[in-house]
Amino acid sequence: MTKSKRPTFIFDLDGVITKTETHHFEAWKETGAFLNYQITPENNEALKGVSRNDSLKKIISWSGKEVSSPVFDRLLKEKNDRYLASLSSLSEDDIMDGVHEFILEAKANNHQIVLYSSSKNAKMILTKLNIIALFDAIVDGNDVTNSKPHPEGFELAALLSNTVPQNCVVFEDSSSGILAANQIGMTTIGIGDAKSLSMASRIYENFKEISLNDF
């Protein structure tokens, strides 16, 4: 594998490119209600970057309940149906400030643009945001066995972009994503709260603070 001259940029989706955490939160709250458990914003932080399957396992564990395999599968489907319905009006207007401009400038300067999201709906969301064509490779929850903080998805992103991990820059808003990318030597950029992303190489509040010259 040859090392490209310019770093490959790997983006998370939820909380980095578009703000869909609220949609997830509202959809999971109904799941929690079924389990007689009230999901809090703190719970929602712990679900960032985690696959739908593993998120439900966490919620069930928090609730102290046990569910059968058929009920587990039903809860997964119902949550996803609620989430997708809430995204019906998603558009380019929902791209977070500064991200689109950064990606366009990076593309113009020959950086590869890759997505790694735990979401199995990532391609649909990118299509609704009208930016899917900007990505050289996409890795989502359908492509991995192990979700963040396991590095499998980032390893695949590096492989698909023919980039060594040390020449990849990851933009993440979740501690699980930062931990996953750190494990294989990628440069990690935390987007959001400095306290929860302290293990990142660098932290920015949003993309309006980031310049391509930083890399």
Measured distance CA(49)–CA(212) in Å, rounded? 25
pLDDT at residue 3 in the model: 44
Q: What is the pTM of this model?
A: 0.82
pLDDT at residue 135 in the model: 98
> Domain 21-86: which CATH class?
mainly alpha
Residue range 176-197: mean pLDDT, rounded: 95
> Domain 8-19+91-214: which CATH class?
alpha beta
Measured distance CA(63)–CA(39) in Å, rounded? 9
133-153 pLDDT tens trace: 999 999 999 999 998 999 999
16-45 pLDDT tens trace: 999 887 888 899 999 999 999 999 988 988
> CA angle 34-117-92, nearest 5°?
95
Q: CA quadruple 59, 61, 65, 67: dihedral positive or negative?
A: positive
For residue 157 the two structure tokens come to: 């992103």
What is the chain's Cα-based Rg? 17
Helix axis angle, 21-34 relative to 69-86, nearest 10°?
140
What residues does each domain of the chain span? 8-19+91-214, 21-86
Among all chains, which residue has been given the structure tokens 């935390």? Answer: 190
- Please tell me the least confidently modeled range out of 95-99, 118-122, 159-163: 118-122
pLDDT band at 47 (very low <50, low <70, confident <90, very high): confident
**Is 12 annotated as catalytic?**
yes
Is there a common fold for 8-19+91-214 and 21-86? no
Share of the chain above pLDDT 70, in %: 98
**Is 136 annotated as catalytic?**
no
